[in-house]
Amino acid sequence: MTELIDFLIVSVALVAVGIYGIVVKRNAIRMLISIEIIVNAANLVVVAFSRSTGNVQGQVFALFSIAIAAAEVAVGLGLVIVAYRLYKEIDVAEFRSMRG
């Protein structure tokens, strides 16, 4: 039988992997992937606590969080495409100026 702590430990592992990706990777798309991993770890914790306490608000909050993350990734990928068009590069270290 799985317990609450098991889900929390999986979530901690996912957060650590996501933070590793944000710190190490310099590719804009990979950094977006890392952010998605962290958001999913947070959703897992929210739903696990919702199941543990038996209330419905945790699941509703997880649904809102998933929708917001989808909106965020749409805008993020639009920005990646604009940056690629300007610099012919999606390495964030190459984005040296914010001029249009």
Name the amino acid, one letter, at 85.
R
Q: How far is the CB of 47 from other proteins (least distance, A)?
A: 5
DSSP collapsed to 3 states, 30-96: HHHHHHHHHHHHHHHHHHHHHHHHCCCHHHHHHHHHHHHHHHHHHHHHHHHHHHHHHHCCCEHHHCC
Instruction: For the segment 34-73, give every residue that binds other proteins (CB under 8 A).
Output: 34, 36-37, 40, 43-44, 47-48, 50-57, 59-60, 62-64, 66-73
Cβ contact 35:22 at 8 Å: yes
Q: How far is the CB of 72 from other proteins (least distance, A)?
A: 7
Q: Which of 88, 96, 99, 100 binds other proteins (CB under 8 A)?
A: 88
Count Cβ atoms below 10 Å from residue 63 Cβ, excluding itself: 12
The yes or no reply on residue 98 touching other proteins (CB under 8 A) is no
Q: How far is the CB of 87 from other proteins (least distance, A)?
A: 10
Residue 1-40 contact track with other proteins, rule CB under 8 A, x = bound? xxxxxxxxxx-xxxxxxxxxx-xxxxx-xx-xxx-xx--x
